[in-house]
Amino acid sequence: MNTAWLMLILAGLFEIGWPLGLKNGYSDQGANWPWIGFAVLCMAISGVLLLLAQRTIPIGTAYAVWTGIGAAGTFLVGVFLFGDVLSLARALSVLLIIAGVVGLKLAA
């Protein structure tokens, strides 16, 4: 795996961090600034890594992989950390996203 793909995968993983930070960033007690800061930091790192990866990887492929990792990863975080529903239809849908990401990597 080359450096651009590694940066893209890391960008996708940081893409998971900002919804997690926003989820924890506010409650009935008000703003939780460390979590909000975590979300902003993840957004920035994710964006910079995507920018660097797109220097080599086509924009459509990079963006689809980036959002796919973020979407599937955030779904799993929701299931395992927040008790989101895991039904067969939802699991199959996330597997389709993952299959699309793998397909884009293999076709590159």
Nearest of 1, 7, 16, 6 to residue 78 by alpha carbon: 16
The total number of structural domains in the chain stands at 1
**With bands split at pLDDT 50, 70 and 90, how would you rate the model's confidence at 106?**
confident
Mean confidence (pLDDT) of the chain: 94
Percent of the chain with pLDDT over 70: 98
Which range of residues forms the domain containing residue 9?
A: 3-107
Is the CA virtual torsion 70, 72, 4, 107 positive or negative?
A: negative
Please report, for residues 7, 29, 50, 85, 102, the alpha-carbon distance to residue 37 in angstroms, rounded to integers and kept in the order given. 22, 17, 20, 28, 31
